[in-house]
């Protein structure tokens, strides 16, 4: 049952441990998010670090998506040495609150596309909007939604995300070191992408607006 993990994380794993979660509260989330700000910044903009471990923008991402990722870090379904000490400070209520807090912040701009040339951006746009069916790489937007700004709780907005983060995530999906997706939906596509494809789509998405307005 693939729908269960999503429901469980969205509604709170607390149900399993016998506690009822209070409704997510962004104000409480702001206080709990103090531990996140060193990397993800007070405005949730994260940071693009060329050649290093970029910290994703969280501002404006879907709350259920953020919540699922935090739960996945805690359970080990998604691994990150940097995130581990911090997620362990968050209980289920705090995860829900922090997710609501970041989801409510206005999206900031993606970085890391500044030095990309025209050909790279063109290839990136093709992959993002039309895909490359000659290698069965479906377009990003076929799951991540119109303009890649996200679709529902499962498929996050990736437009306006930092290029460095998108690149390392696609590499992780491809290598199998990240596999907390449903049905291997992302992994199966990433494994057909070349390094050039990954760089191109990361640069293009970073150059795009995270929100429709």
Partner 1 sequence: MIRTFSYVALSGTLLFSATAAATDDTTQQYINTLTELGYPAPKANELVHIPPTMEDLENASLHPELKRVIRRGYDLFTNTQQLRGENVFNNMNCSSCHMGEGRMPFSAPVWPAAVTLPNYRGKNDHVNNLEERIAGCFTYSMNGKPPEYGSDNMLALSAYHQWLAKGVAMYPEKPIYGRGFPAPDRPAKLSYARGEAAFEENCSVCHGNDGEGLRVGNHTVFPAIWGDMSNNWGAGIVRVFTAAGFIKNNMPLGQPNSLSDQEAWDIAYYMSNQERPQDPRYTGDVKDTLEKTQERFHKHSMYGQARETDGHVLGDHNNTGEKPFLKPDSVRPRTFE
- Is 184 a residue that touches partner 1 (CB under 8 A)? yes
**Smallest separation, CB 210 to partner 1 (Å):** 14
Window 123-152: contact mask with partner 1 (x via CB under 8 A): ---x---xx-xxxx-x---xx-xx--xxxx
> How far is residue 129's CA from residue 112's CA, in Å, rounded to a whole number?
19
Nearer to partner 1, 28 or 191 (CB): 191
Min dist. Cβ of residue 121 to partner 1 (A): 15
Contact call for residue 52 and partner 1 (CB under 8 A) = no
91 three-state secondary structure = coil
> From the centroid of its chain, how far is CA 67?
11
Supply 138's token pair. Answer: 């479906």
How many CB atoms lie under 10 A from the CB of residue 115? 9
Among 1, 20, 81, 119, binds partner 1 (CB under 8 A): 1
For 142, half-sphere exposure in the C-beta direction (CA atoms, 13 angstrom radius) is 13
Question: Least distance from C-beta 85 to partner 1, angstroms?
Answer: 31
The helix/strand/coil state of 193 is coil
Token pair, residue 89, equals 């400070």
Smallest gap from residue 89 Cβ to partner 1 (A): 30
**Dihedrals φ, ψ of 151, to 5°?**
-140, 105
Does 212 participate in binding partner 1 (rule CB under 8 A)? Answer: yes
Told to check if 81 binds partner 1 by CB under 8 A, we report no
The answer to whether 111 and 206 have CB atoms below 8 angstroms apart is yes
Residues in contact with partner 1 by CB under 8 A are 1-3, 6, 126, 130-131, 133-136, 138, 142-143, 145-146, 149-152, 154-155, 182-185, 188-189, 212
């Amino acid at each position: 049952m693939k729908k269960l993990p999503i429901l469980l994380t969205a509604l709170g794993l607390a149900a399993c441990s016998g506690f009822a979660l209070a409704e997510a509260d962004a104000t409480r989330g702001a206080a709990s998010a103090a531990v996140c700000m060193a990397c993800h910044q007070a405005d949730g903009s994260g940071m693009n670090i060329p050649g290093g471990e970029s910290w994703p923008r969280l501002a404006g991402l879907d709350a259920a998506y953020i919540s699922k990722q935090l739960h996945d870090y805690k359970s080990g379904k998604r691994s990150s040495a940097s995130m581990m000490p911090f997620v362990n400070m968050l209980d289920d209520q705090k995860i829900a609150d922090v997710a609501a807090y970041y989801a409510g912040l206005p999206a900031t701009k993606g970085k890391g596309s500044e030095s990309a040339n025209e050909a790279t951006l063109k290839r990136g746009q093709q992959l993002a909007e039309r895909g490359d069916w000659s290698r069965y790489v479906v377009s990003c937007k076929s799951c991540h939604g119109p303009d890649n700004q996200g679709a529902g709780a499962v498929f996050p907005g990736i437009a306006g995300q930092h290029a460095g983060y998108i690149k390392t995530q696609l590499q992780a999906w491809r290598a199998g070191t990240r596999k907390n997706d449903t049905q291997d939906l992302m992994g199966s596509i990433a494994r057909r992408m070349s390094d050039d494809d990954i760089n191109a789509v990361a640069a293009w998405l970073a150059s795009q607006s995270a929100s429709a307005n």
